[in-house]
Structures are given as structure tokens and as C-alpha cells.
């Protein structure tokens, strides 16, 4: 960032945001597309080149094969001509000359390549025989390009041959014509008596080659002894150093020019090495493949670009809208600054907001120990609320309880220097713990969260040793629970253990659940009194609860021994009372617990516990009255809402509230003062009487809507109760209303 440029000016400019989006489009979409396209092009070029080479090779093979077939046909025809008695006869006169011409005409028509079929008899070297007569030897040699050959100097030596021979026809108008000379013998192994001359038309051969070549990038050349005889138009390949339409050049020059232009050359030989057929073809070029690729897939690039620019436009508008919304939500600065741009004003607003937020975070961090203390105090006292509320509290306190089991430990500490980590949540590998603030008479609590049920004492010993808590004389452990919502139970047990244990110098840890089993139900405590105590407190019977308490406390006082380490009776009594109080109020009675911790004598505890038992029983009685009142109201509401049903009965009431018929009948009478039938009839009659006076509806409709379906029976019953039939009751009551 350049000096003097503000944060807003640097980051929030539209041009810079657009540029960043555009660069993202290039790097995320276009560059990968280009890389894939180049890879595809290279791969496609290789495939295209292989396919093209296969096509060129097949074309060369087809042309060579067709030429071989034609040459084989000519050689076989020459052999047949030599053995034909019409042609091999020595007696030449008018009749045999006609037969000779007919035979030659027949053989000449056997191949489309034969332009002229001539026979040179060694016995008659002055003339040539053909299907259309005889030719003077001198004129025929020049006409068909058989004279002045470089192979065999001399006027007639060319025509004497003992093996097939290929000669290029030379002369005006004979460019591309060929002569194939084949010796003719009357039988196999005999000396030749004549030479068969096949004059082939070059245009026909070139047409055959043109038909074989299907692609515009391939040239076929027919040559003999490196001399080009016939070829397709090599001008279409645009070879440098060779002009299009120029006369044929030597094969070596033609192939050299082709290789110089980066083309492929392949040569195949015809039958008997008469000819060579050379293929000259262009190689596949990346530009051609690229052109094909662009023609096929350019629309994808256009589509990606269009989508990208559309996304840039949408995201850009959304971002600016977001910035505008943020600016609206941020509180305006206390003092306006004149002369600042919109970007600078936004930057100042954000900076002010961030600073204020940082201040709030610092204050929250300072308050975190107090929040954490409140959360753990609520866990100890059982004020956990709903699961969602508990989760929210733990998140606010930044506390995670990762292990399954919980144990509460109480101990006394005169000063904060006695122990470490007060108000901190400490996490180890296999356990975590929290040390609370004093809860009464310097007592503190440790909430121990661990992974195994039976190792709470060992973990506590590890904490005491590692953190040097040797100044603490004794630790009192409650039972281990497996739910965070039951931590208060462990706390009650730890408190009972502390209140009823006399520590000794040789023992540091006292565990509630490790008390001897025989002490859990002391012989001097009457089980019936314990049951009466619990029943009286929880069912709201103060007299029963207080009487049972006095009996139990008298037994505890009688059995009390000052030299005894554990006051088992007091421990059980205190635990019963604290747990009963929790069941009624759904939270631990902290004032009661602090009061017990502050008063250790039996007399003081008697007064405190006596008052607690009375308060618990009265609170339960008050709750029972409220519950009963609510149930009674629900019963009346249920009967009133179903009174209009003709089939409504007491059994429906019993089923709805889960009661037996006798119990439901007694309950209805207790609530309404009447039997179910009488109360139901009263409700129906009250509705009917009100409807008779207030509406003009037919009497039959009124009684049917009120739960009766027999008009005659209802009329008798109505007369017996009210003293008048329904119709007369309507008239009388309306008249009274008018008089009033």
C-alpha cells in the first residue's frame, strides 16, 4: 500500500474489486481451460496424424494393388497372344491377316489401359501389325514413341527383347504414355518369335491414380528407374521449389522437395519392379487441429467467459450492497468529520466499531472468571435448567467437560495461597477439574471430571501432589455420578461426609461411598421412621415428618460417640433432608448447607434440621394443593367440554385421567358436590334453559345439540325437574323478561 492511501481507498474501489474478480476468473476457469485445451490439441494431433498416415498408406496400397492387377493381366494376355495360333502362324495372307486383326482387337479390348496393341514379328521387321492393319515400321516407331530410346540405341534394337520391358513414350502429344514390350513365344520354353507392344494411355493411368487418391493432401507418383512417368497434380501440395503445373521432374528431385517441405514419402514397387508408386503426403499440423478444435468447442469458451463475467457482475453488486448494509448497521461515529470521502468515513466507522468490540471482548475476558464461577455454582446446586440452557452456560463460561464421570470434593482452605488454579478450569490428558470460591467457613469445592468411575481418589492425589496442596488437611469426596445434571448429588454426599467426619492426622481423603456397608443402615435407626420422614416431607405432611425426625435424631444423639471417626447417623439424616429439599425445590438449599457447615454441635444441628424438615413438608403441601386445584379445574373443564355428547359417560372420564370408575366417581363428587349423572344433567339443563329463552331455535334442535335425542323422554324429565314443559318454560321466562 502506498503511503498516504487509506484502507478504504485501497480495498473498496470498484475497479480493484472488479480486477480481483476478473483475475479470479482467469486463474480459476480460463487458465485450466487453456491447459486442458492444449493437452487435448497435442493428443488430437497425434491421433489425427496416425489416422492420416493410415489413410495415406491404405491409398498407396490400393493404387499399387490395382496397378499390379493390370500388369498381371497384361503379362498373361501377352502369354496368351504368343500361344494363339492365329497370331503365331507363319502363313500370312489375306484371310489370316483378317483373323490376326480380329484376334488383336479382341485382346486390345481386354484392358481399359491398352490404347493400342501392336505385334512386331521378327520374321517381318519392316512393319508392325495391329487390329486396324499394318504400320510401316519407321512411322509406327515415332508415332508410338518407340524410337530414339536411351536404353537401346539403334533404330530397331528396342523391339528385340527377351524379357518384359517398360519404355516411356517420347514424342509430341505422348507425354505420360507408356509402352510395355513383352516377348511372345509359341510355347513355354521356346524362343520368342515376336514382341507384343502394349501402348498404354497416360491419361487413363493418371485417372486411375486420381481415383485412388481421396484426400487433397496426398500425391501419387508412378516412376520407372527414378523417372516420373505419371503423377497426380503435385501443384496442389504447394511444394516450394516446384511450380504448379510444371513438367514432371525426376523422382529424386520431387521427393527431396517434399521432405524439405516437411512431408512424408513412401514408395511401393509394382509387379516385376516395372514401376514404383510413391506417396507424397502432408503431415498433420497443429494449426489444422486447432482450427477444428476452435470450430467445435469455441462456444464453450464463450459460454464460460459469459458466465464468468455475469458472476463478476452479480458478486460485485452483492458485495457493494453488503458494504452498504454493513455501513447502515454500524453505529455512526460520535463526531462527524467534514471533508472525508464515503470510503474514508466507512473506514473510520469500521475502525471505531472494531475498537469498541475489542473493548467488549477485554471486558468479557475480565468477567470470564465470574461467569465460570456462577456456572459451576449452578451445577453444584442443581440449577442446571434445560439441556439447551446448560449448553449455553458452558459455552459462555468457555468450559468443555469432555469426560463421562463427575466427582465433587470439599476441603477447607484458610487463604487462596493454599491451593493453585482457583477459578480456573484445568484440563489434563485423562481428567479436568475446577476449584470454586469459598462456599462457607472457607470450604471450597473441586468439580472433578474424569473418564473412569473408580479413580477419583487417585486423580485427586495426583492433583494435590502436582500442585503442592500439602497445606490442605483433608479432602471429602462425594460419590461419582455419570451425568452433569447429577453433580449436586455428589455435592450433597461430599457435604454430608464433611459434616459427619472427624479427620485424623494419618488420613487425608474421606470418601462418602467408601463408608462401611453396615454403617449405611445403622442398627439404631428405625427403617420405618426413615420412610415416614421421607413420606412426610415429600407428601406435605409436616406432623408426620417432624415426628419421624425427632425419633431419628433422638436415636442419632443416643448413638453419638465423640471418639467415633464417622457420625453415620447424622450423615444419613442430613443426606435424606438435603435430597428431599432438592426434590421439592429442584435446587440445592445453599443457606441450609452453609448453616450446617457453620454449626457443628448436635444441638445447633437439631434446630437447623428441624426447621428444614418443617419448611420442606410445608412447601410440598403447598405444591400438592396447587397441583390438586389444577387437577380439579381440569376435571370440571373436561366434563363441561364433553357434556353435549349423547354418549358421554363416567367411563370416559376415568379413561382420560387414568383412574378406576370408583375413584373417578369419588373425585367428581368431591370436586362438584354431586354425582356424575346429576352434575352432567345440571350442565345440560342449564344450557337448554338458556337456549330456550335466548333463541328461537326449535326445541328438538336445542335438546339434540345438548346431548339428548329422545324428545318425549326429555320433556318428562324436564317437567319433573323444572315444573314446566320446555315450550311453556320458554313462554313464561320470556314474559317475565318483558315485564322486568
Q: DSSP string covering 76-107, please?
A: HHHHHHHH-HHHH-S--SHHHHHHHHHHHHHH
Helix (H) or strand (E) holding 425: strand 425-427
Please determine, for residue 438, whether its predicted confidence score (pLDDT) is greater than 60.
yes
* pLDDT given at position 518: 45
Look at 183 and 229; give whichever has higher pLDDT. 183
Average pLDDT over residues 166-190: 77
* pLDDT given at position 515: 46
With CA atoms as reference, report the closest residue to 400 among 463, 456, 472, 484: 484
Give the C-alpha separation, 213 to 233, whole Å.
Answer: 11
Average pLDDT over residues 109-113: 77
Q: Which residue has the cell 337448554?
A: 688
What's the pLDDT tens digit per position in 237-263?
565 555 444 556 777 877 787 777 778
Residue 700 in contact with residue 740, Cβ under 8 Å? no
Average pLDDT over residues 135-157: 68
Q: Which residues pair with 405 in a beta bridge?
A: 450
Residues 6+ apart with CB under 8 A from 97: 134
- pLDDT band (50, 70, 90) for residue 285: low
Q: Which residues pair with 267 in a beta bridge?
A: 278
225's grid cell: 528407374
- pLDDT band (50, 70, 90) for residue 152: very low
* pLDDT given at position 284: 62
Please determine, for residue 433, whether its predicted confidence score (pLDDT) is greater than 70.
yes
Q: Sort 484 into a burial class: Cβ within 10 Å, 0-12 / 13-18 / 19+.
A: middle
Residue 59 sits at the vertex; the CA angle it makes with 54 and 60, to the nearest 5 degrees, is 100
CB atoms within 10 A of CB 148: 13
Q: How long is the chain?
A: 740
Q: Which residue has the cell 486420381?
A: 210
* pLDDT given at position 5: 44
Please determine, for residue 677, whether its predicted confidence score (pLDDT) is greater than 80.
yes
Cα dihedral 700→701→702→705 (10° resolution): 120
Average pLDDT over residues 60-76: 82
Residue 723: which region, alpha, beta or left (left: phi > 0; alpha: psi -120 to 50)? Answer: left
- pLDDT band (50, 70, 90) for residue 50: confident
Residue 730 in contact with residue 686, Cβ under 8 Å? no
Determine what percent of the chain is predicted with pLDDT higher than 70.
75
Lowest mean pLDDT across 195-209, 505-519, 558-572 = 505-519
Please determine, for residue 215, whether its predicted confidence score (pLDDT) is greater than 70.
no
- pLDDT band (50, 70, 90) for residue 531: confident
* pLDDT given at position 525: 64
489's grid cell: 448429588
With CA atoms as reference, report the closest residue to 74 among 212, 204, 182: 182
With CA atoms as reference, report the closest residue to 602 among 555, 671, 534: 555
Please determine, for residue 702, whether its predicted confidence score (pLDDT) is greater than 70.
yes
- pLDDT band (50, 70, 90) for residue 553: confident
* pLDDT given at position 343: 64
> Using CA of residue 159, residue 164, residue 168, residue 173, what is the dihedral sign?
positive
Residue 643 in contact with residue 637, Cβ under 8 Å? no
Please determine, for residue 13, whether its predicted confidence score (pLDDT) is greater than 50.
no
* pLDDT given at position 11: 42
Give the C-alpha separation, 637 to 556, whole Å.
Answer: 50
Give the C-alpha separation, 624 to 49, whole Å.
Answer: 97
Determine what percent of the chain is predicted with pLDDT higher than 90.
0
Lowest mean pLDDT across 232-241, 350-359, 558-567, 642-651 = 232-241
SS3 annotation, 263-305: EEEEEEECHHHCCEEEEEEECCCHHHHHHHHHHHHHHHHHHHH
- The CB-based long-range contact list for 602-610 (8 Å cut-off, 24+ gap) reads 602/556, 602/557, 602/560, 602/570, 605/570, 605/574, 606/553, 606/557, 609/549, 609/553, 609/573, 609/574, 609/577, 610/546, 610/549, 610/550, 610/553
Collapsed DSSP state (helix, strand, coil) of residue 538 = helix
Residues 6+ apart with CB under 8 A from 388: none
Please determine, for residue 491, whether its predicted confidence score (pLDDT) is greater than 60.
yes
Give the C-alpha separation, 262 to 276, whole Å.
Answer: 22
- pLDDT band (50, 70, 90) for residue 414: low
- pLDDT band (50, 70, 90) for residue 729: confident
Report CA-CA distances (Å) from 653 to 143, 650, 675, 683: 134, 5, 13, 16
User: Which DSSP letter does residue 580 get?
Assistant: H
* pLDDT given at position 556: 79
Give the C-alpha separation, 368 to 598, whole Å.
Answer: 30
SS3 annotation, 502-532: CCCCCCCEEEHHHCCHHHHCCCCCCHHHHHH
* pLDDT given at position 149: 45
What's the pLDDT tens digit per position in 654-666?
888 888 888 888 8
- pLDDT band (50, 70, 90) for residue 502: confident
Average pLDDT over residues 692-720: 85
Helix (H) or strand (E) holding 372: helix 342-381
Give the C-alpha separation, 472 to 465, whole Å.
Answer: 11
Collapsed DSSP state (helix, strand, coil) of residue 555 = helix
Give the C-alpha separation, 661 to 697, whole Å.
Answer: 37
Average pLDDT over residues 259-280: 78
With CA atoms as reference, report the closest residue to 310 among 107, 22, 595: 22
Give the C-alpha separation, 70 to 87, whole Å.
Answer: 22
CB atoms within 10 A of CB 123: 8
* pLDDT given at position 15: 53
Residue 683 in contact with residue 695, Cβ under 8 Å? no
With CA atoms as reference, report the closest residue to 376 among 415, 424, 412: 424
Please determine, for residue 649, whether its predicted confidence score (pLDDT) is greater than 80.
yes
Collapsed DSSP state (helix, strand, coil) of residue 661 = helix
What's the pLDDT tens digit per position in 582-610?
777 777 777 887 787 777 777 888 888 88
Q: Which CATH number fits domain 643-739: 3.90.105.10, 1.10.10.60, 3.40.50.460, 1.10.10.10?
A: 1.10.10.60
Residue 205 in contact with residue 223, Cβ under 8 Å? no
* pLDDT given at position 441: 62
Please determine, for residue 334, whether its predicted confidence score (pLDDT) is greater than 60.
no
Average pLDDT over residues 198-221: 77
* pLDDT given at position 153: 44
Give the C-alpha separation, 120 to 133, whole Å.
Answer: 13
Look at 304 and 711; give whichever has higher pLDDT. 711
Give the C-alpha separation, 241 to 256, whole Å.
Answer: 10
Answer yes or no: same fold for 54-282 and 643-739: no
Q: Give the residue extent of every domain in the chain.
A: 54-282, 367-622, 643-739
- 308-333 b/e with 16+ CB inside 10 Å = b? beeebeeeeeeeeeebeeeeeebeee
Give the C-alpha separation, 245 to 243, whole Å.
Answer: 6
Average pLDDT over residues 4-12: 42
| Average of per-residue pLDDT values in the chain | 76
* pLDDT given at position 342: 61
Residue 189 in contact with residue 82, Cβ under 8 Å? no
SS3 annotation, 554-594: HHHHHHCCCCCCECHHHHHHHHHHHHHHHHHHCCCCHHHHH
* pLDDT given at position 25: 66
Average pLDDT over residues 219-231: 76
Give domain 54-282's CATH architecture. 2-Layer Sandwich (3.30)
Q: Which residue has the cell 503365331?
A: 88
Q: How far, rounded to the nearest angstrom, does the alpha carbon of residue 201 sit from its chain's CA centroid? A: 75
CB hemisphere CA count around 507 (13 angstroms): 11
* pLDDT given at position 740: 60
Please determine, for residue 639, whether its predicted confidence score (pLDDT) is greater than 70.
yes
Helix (H) or strand (E) holding 691: helix 676-694
Amino acid at each position: 500500500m502506498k503511503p498516504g492511501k487509506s484502507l478504504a481507498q485501497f480495498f473498496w474501489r470498484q475497479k480493484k474489486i472488479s480486477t480481483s474478480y476478473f483475475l479470479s476468473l482467469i486463474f480459476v476457469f480460463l487458465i485450466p481451460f487453456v491447459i486442458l485445451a492444449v493437452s487435448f490439441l497435442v493428443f488430437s494431433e497425434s491421433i489425427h496424424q496416425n489416422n492420416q498416415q493410415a489413410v495415406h498408406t491404405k491409398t498407396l496400397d490400393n493404387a499399387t494393388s490395382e496397378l499390379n492387377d493390370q500388369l498381371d493381366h497384361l503379362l498373361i494376355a501377352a502369354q496368351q497372344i504368343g500361344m494363339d495360333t492365329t497370331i503365331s502362324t507363319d502363313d500370312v495372307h489375306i484371310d489370316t491377316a483378317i483373323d490376326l486383326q480380329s484376334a488383336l482387337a479382341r485382346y486390345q479390348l481386354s484392358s481399359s489401359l491398352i490404347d493400342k496393341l501392336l505385334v512386331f514379328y521378327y520374321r517381318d521387321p519392316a512393319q508392325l501389325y495391329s487390329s486396324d492393319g499394318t504400320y510401316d515400321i519407321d512411322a509406327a516407331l515415332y508415332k508410338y514413341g518407340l524410337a530414339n530410346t536411351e536404353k537401346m540405341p539403334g533404330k530397331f534394337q528396342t523391339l528385340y527383347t527377351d524379357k518384359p520391358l517398360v519404355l516411356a513414350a517420347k514424342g509430341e502429344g505422348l507425354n505420360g504414355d507408356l509402352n510395355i514390350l513383352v516377348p511372345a513365344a509359341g510355347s513355354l520354353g521356346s524362343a520368342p518369335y515376336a514382341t507384343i507392344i502394349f501402348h498404354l494411355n497416360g491419361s487413363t493411368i493418371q485417372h486411375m491414380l486420381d481415383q485412388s487418391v481421396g484426400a487433397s493432401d496426398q500425391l501419387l507418383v508412378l516412376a520407372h528407374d527414378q523417372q516420373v512417368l505419371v503423377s497426380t497434380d503435385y501443384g496442389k501440395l504447394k511444394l516450394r521449389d516446384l511450380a504448379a503445373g510444371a513438367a514432371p521432374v525426376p523422382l529424386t528431385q520431387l521427393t527431396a522437395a517434399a521432405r524439405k517441405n516437411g512431408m512424408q514419402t513412401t514408395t511401393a514397387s509394382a509387379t516385376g519392379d516395372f514401376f514404383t508408386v510413391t506417396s507424397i503426403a502432408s503431415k498433420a499440423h497443429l494449426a489444422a487441429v486447432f482450427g477444428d478444435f476452435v470450430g467445435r468447442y469455441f462456444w464453450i469458451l464463450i459460454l464460460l467467459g459469459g458466465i464468468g463475467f455475469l458472476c463478476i457482475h452479480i458478486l460485485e453488486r452483492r458485495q457493494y450492497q453488503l458494504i452498504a448494509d454493513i455501513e447502515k448497521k454500524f453505529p455512526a461515529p460520535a463526531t462527524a468529520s467534514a471533508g472525508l470521502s464515503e470510503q474514508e468515513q466507512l473506514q473510520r466507522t469500521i475502525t471505531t466499531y472494531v475498537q469498541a468490540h475489542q473493548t467488549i471482548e477485554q471486558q468479557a475476558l475480565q468477567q470470564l472468571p465470574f461467569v465460570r464461577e456462577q456456572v459451576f455454582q449452578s451445577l453444584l446446586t442443581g440449577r442446571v435448567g434445560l439441556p439447551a440452557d446448560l449448553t449455553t452456560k458452558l459455552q459462555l463460561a468457555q468450559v468443555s467437560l469432555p469426560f463421562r464421570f463427575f466427582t465433587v470434593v470439599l476441603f477447607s482452605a484458610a487463604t487462596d495461597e493454599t491451593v493453585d488454579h482457583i477459578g480456573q478450569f484445568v484440563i489434563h490428558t485423562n481428567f479436568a477439574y475446577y476449584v470454586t470460591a469459598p462456599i462457607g467457613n472457607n470450604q471450597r469445592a473441586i468439580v472433578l471430571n474424569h473418564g473412569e468411575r473408580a479413580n477419583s481418589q487417585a486423580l485427586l492425589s495426583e492433583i494435590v501432589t502436582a500442585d503442592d496442596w500439602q497445606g490442605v488437611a483433608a479432602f471429602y469426596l462425594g460419590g461419582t455420578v455419570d451425568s452433569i445434571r447429577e453433580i449436586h448429588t455428589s455435592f450433597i454426599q461430599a457435604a454430608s461426609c464433611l459434616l459427619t467426619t472427624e479427620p485424623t492426622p494419618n488420613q487425608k481423603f474421606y470418601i462418602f461411598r467408601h463408608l462401611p456397608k453396615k454403617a449405611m443402615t445403622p442398627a439404631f435407626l428405625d427403617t420405618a421412621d426413615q420412610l415416614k420422614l421421607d413420606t412426610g416431607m415429600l407428601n406435605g405432611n409436616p406432623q408426620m415428618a417432624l415426628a419421624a425426625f425427632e425419633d431419628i435424631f433422638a436415636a442419632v444423639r443416643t448413638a453419638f460417640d465423640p471418639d467415633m471417626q464417622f457420625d453415620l447417623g447424622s450423615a444419613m439424616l442430613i443426606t435424606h433432608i438435603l435430597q428431599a429439599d432438592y426434590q421439592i425445590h429442584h435446587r440445592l438449599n445453599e443457606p441450609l448447607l452453609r448453616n450446617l457447615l457453620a454449626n457443628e454441635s448436635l444441638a445447633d444441628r437439631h434446630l437447623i434440621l428441624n426447621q428444614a424438615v418443617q419448611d420442606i413438608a410445608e412447601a410440598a403441601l403447598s405444591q400438592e394443593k396447587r397441583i390438586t386445584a389444577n387437577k380439579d379445574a381440569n376435571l370440571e373443564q373436561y366434563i363441561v367440554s364433553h357434556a353435549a355428547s349423547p354418549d358421554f359417560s363416567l367411563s370416559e372420564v376415568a379413561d382420560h385421567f387414568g383412574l378406576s370408575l370408583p375413584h373417578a366417581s369419588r373425585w367428581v363428587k368431591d370436586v362438584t358436590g354431586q354425582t356424575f349423572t346429576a352434575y352432567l344433567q345440571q350442565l345440560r339443563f342449564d344450557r337448554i334453559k338458556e337456549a330456550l329463552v335466548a333463541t328461537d331455535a326449535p326445541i328438538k334442535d336445542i335438546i339434540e345439540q345438548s346431548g339428548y335425542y329422545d324428545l318425549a323422554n326429555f320433556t318428562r324429565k324436564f317437567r319433573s325437574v323444572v315444573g314446566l314443559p320446555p315450550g311453556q318454560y320458554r313462554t313464561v321466562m320470556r314474559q317475565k323478561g318483558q315485564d322486568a
